[in-house]
Structure 1
Amino acid sequence: MQIIQFILDLGPTVMMPVIITILGVLFGQKISKAFRAGLTIGIGFAGINLVIGLLVNNLSPATQAMVTNWGLKLDIMDVGWPIAASISFGTTIVPAVFLIGIFINTVMLGLNWTKTMNVDLWNYWHFIFTGALVMYLTNNVVIGLIASALTIIIILKLADFTAPYVEKFFQMPGVSLPHTETVSWALVGIGINKILDKIPGINKINFDTDTIQKKFGIFGEPMIMGLILGAGIGGLAKYQVKEIIVLAVNMSAVMFIMPRMVRILMEGLLPLSESAREFINKRFPGKEVYIGLDAAVVIGHPAVISTGLIMIPITLLIAAILPGNRLLPFTDLAVLPFLVIWAVVPSKGNIIRSVITSTIMVCFMLLIATDIAGVATIMAKDVNFAFPEGTSTISSLDAGAHLIPYIIFKIVQLFMT
């Protein structure tokens, strides 16, 4: 556990260069080339994390002001994904899930059951979260670990299935996204998009970022869209003029800088992808391998960020009127761009379709977050989580986005009754 914790504490900015350098050497690169590629990827991740920090640090106060100003009162507090991750890492099954995850991925690669080599070790907390939910539901560690293993297998297969979409839409060859709370919704997003194809009127609307830029000129450029959307959110938060301007410029900066940070990361990743392809082709002709990364590498797309920003007020409205919802969206409103990725990709960046699909997804996310709140609260108490004053029950919008873990959780719950 101390070894695992030491590695995790390094964070992706340091952890990724180490992993990529080791992989590069294993795939036959010179150590200098492998180290350069690894360091470049680390720099790319550092840049992405800085921009995500800019996004979250500016959006969080605005979303909290919106919650306060709109007078929403619901009894389950959205404590955010960082708390869900820290609670997961505080459970007893952490070392076992890491060992199981690495073993499963290695065996599946060796037997050609997956093409994804998941190097996103930090987000193993998703698999731990699944196991912990089931373990606390059943009071059985073994069943919890089986749930984690099933989640790992399913997510790897979904990452394989969606990799061609990632390559085509985000221009990222050789990359897959085994990121549980995002890729879990890929089939849902693809299915909804197929339904929208058959609805007269909607199926004729093409409102992607390229079309917007052609029709509106400078006002359709990503930086200007960020400026407008940031100002809109500031207005809904009832900010003063000065605060609205600051938020608008910072959202403009996010839209402008993020794609450049992703390009830096890809500069380091492409040599590894090429070396991996050559290494595999020599030993296993025809076999393909994807590098499994955090979904953070794709949220810089203008359509993803735009859809995420538009969904902030819509999510608050849904939370207020959705029957059965008890979750007060709060901390995780700022990370909605992550949760809408697989609404955007199947629609090929069509903002109208993306918002429609995201709205449907968010309804389910809120209900899932509400349903698992009881077990999530027990987990939090067991690891001595400090509850916010006046809060007795917690969950998070991100936890509600863990669709595959939730399905496994409900199946186990069904067999218990």
Structure 2
Amino acid sequence: MEAVQNIIHFILDLGATVMMPIIIVLLGLALRQKFSQAIRSGLTVGMGFAGIFLVIGLFSTNLSPAAKAMVDNFGLHLDVLDVGWPVHAAISFGTPIVPVVFILGVLINIIMLTMNWTKTMDIDLWNYWHFIFAGGLVMYKTDSAVLGVLASCITIIVVLKLADYTQPYVEKYFGMPGISLPHTEDVGWAPICIFLNKVIDKIPVINKIDINPQTIQKKFGVIGEPMFIGLVLGSFIGFLAGYNSKGIIQLGVNMAAVMFLLPRMSRILMEGLMPLSDSAREFLNSRFPGKKVFIGLDSAVVVGNPSVMAVCLLMIPVTLVLAAILPGNRIMPFTDLAGLCFCLLWSVGASRGNVFRGLIISTILMVFILYIATDIAPVSTLMAQKVGFPFPQGTLAVSSLDGGSHFIPYIIYKIVAFIVP
């Protein structure tokens, strides 16, 4: 198992920009693509991911200091620190069930595809940490590795089914044909978001309000373009952070750049994926007429949607207000404020880009996320201690907004905690 774990860590350490091209090339060759075509597709996908992560890095680098300044301005003093998804990922990869979950995860996906129990082929291996996190919560709560692995397996099955269920939204609204998003931290909320959107459909007056980048651009012309929306919202965040005029302008321009560049990086990614999708369709039609397979990817491929980014920026002050006023909340939002687009993207997907509805649904979701993040803080802190996470000075408990957004793992965790106290 140690040898398997070393191999897995070596692959993961390559990063998505290296790992994904290799996977795409191997899949292309397996689907009878020419070597030159497979190489081109793989490299194009790698460049697309590199571009997406560079722009997300620009987003986080500029937004994180603003988020910290807003926390200070709001005067929040809560005892659970939001250490962010990167720390939770690192903690998850430090748990002893990593190799078992990886092997079983791949086998479960293959079996489900073979038996027509799913259409999603999850090639987003790096985000297997989501499944490991689910198992870690249960393992450290019950002191049982077997129950932890079982929780991971159940999470994998449910997430693959939800990825199938939400694929039409990914294709029709996000413009990603043949792609699904088996991303645990967001897809678990999709049925709730779809339900809440239907509830809003029944509310007079409110159900007529439709605010999205397309209608704004149509009404206001060039001023309504996504980059101008980014400029306005970025400047607004800078103002709330207490920045001077220089800082406000800089943050506004950088957010405008993010809104402008991310969709273009996603198009580069799709340029590389489409040949693979076409080859997969032809291969399956020749051998299994009528069988469909979706390529499961990181939700990073859709977070560049202008409505998603707009809702993400608007939710930063909303999240801080909720953290301050919700009774019983203990988590101080910090690191993951810059990554809300991952946690809340289905509030926008379910409402088909309606920023107004997306903001309402996201606010409801954030109440749950804050309470879940608070509730898992003890076991999250124990996980961090077990893998030797260096706690910031004065910090006694850690969790994250991203951890609080893992809805399916949380349900499994609570069920097991009830059965095995």
- Classify the TM-score, shorter chain: over 0.9
Q: Equivalent of 1:411, from 396, 415, 418?
A: 415
Deviations 1:25-83 (A, max 9, x none): 00010111111101100000000000000000000000000001111111100000000
Distance 1:290 1:193 in 2: 25
2:138 equivalent in structure 1: 134
Distance 2:328 2:360 in 1: 21
How much has 1:213 moved relative to structure 2?
Answer: 1.0
Unaligned runs of 5+ in 2: none
Distance 1:113 1:242 in 2: 55
Summarize the alignment of residues 145-156 of structure 1 with structure 2, pairs less than 5 Å apart: 145-156=149-160
1:242 equivalent in structure 2: 246
Look up the equivalent residue of 1:344 and give its one-letter code: V
How much has 1:240 moved relative to structure 2?
Answer: 1.1
How much has 1:385 moved relative to structure 2?
Answer: 0.3
Whether 1:143 aligns to 2:147 is: yes
Distance 1:8 1:338 in 2: 20
Deviations 1:353-373 (A, max 9, x none): 000000000000000000000
Whether 1:332 aligns to 2:336 is: yes
Look up the equivalent residue of 2:196 and give its one-letter code: I
Q: Equivalent of 1:40, from 31, 44, 47?
A: 44
Give SS of 1:77's match. strand
1:353 equivalent in structure 2: 357
Whether 1:124 aligns to 2:134 is: no
Distance 2:10 2:99 in 1: 12
Distance 2:72 2:210 in 1: 36
Look up the equivalent residue of 2:16 and give its one-letter code: P
Q: Equivalent of 1:319, from 319, 323, 336?
A: 323
Look up the equivalent residue of 1:145 and give its one-letter code: V
Look up the equivalent residue of 2:365 and give its one-letter code: M
How much has 1:219 moved relative to structure 2?
Answer: 2.0
TM-score scaled to structure 2, two decimals? 0.98
Look up the equivalent residue of 1:317 and give its one-letter code: V
Whether 1:111 aligns to 2:115 is: yes
Give SS of 1:170's match. coil
Whether 1:392 aligns to 2:400 is: no
TM-score scaled to structure 1, two decimals? 0.99
Distance 1:52 1:208 in 2: 22
Deviations 1:178-228 (A, max 9, x none): 000010110010010010001111101111111111122222110000000
Whether 1:71 aligns to 2:75 is: yes
Distance 2:305 2:127 in 1: 21
Look up the equivalent residue of 2:234 and give its one-letter code: G
2:102 equivalent in structure 1: 98
Moved over 6 A (4+): none
165-174 or 210-219, which deviates more? 210-219
Distance 1:381 1:201 in 2: 51
Distance 2:359 2:327 in 1: 20
Summarize the alignment of residues 5-404 of structure 1 with structure 2, pairs less than 5 Å apart: 5-404=9-408
Give SS of 1:212's match. helix
Look up the equivalent residue of 2:111 and give its one-letter code: V
How much has 1:291 moved relative to structure 2?
Answer: 0.2
Look up the equivalent residue of 2:239 and give its one-letter code: G
Deviations 1:380-399 (A, max 9, x none): 00001000111000000000
Give SS of 2:14's match. helix
Distance 1:202 1:55 in 2: 32
Give the alignment's Cα RMSD to 1 decimal: 0.6
Distance 2:136 2:211 in 1: 42
Give SS of 1:200's match. coil
Distance 1:114 1:126 in 2: 19
How much has 1:250 moved relative to structure 2?
Answer: 0.3
How much has 1:340 moved relative to structure 2?
Answer: 1.5
Percent identity over the alignment? 63
How much has 1:111 moved relative to structure 2?
Answer: 0.5
Distance 1:323 1:157 in 2: 35
Look up the equivalent residue of 2:390 and give its one-letter code: A
Distance 2:414 2:41 in 1: 43
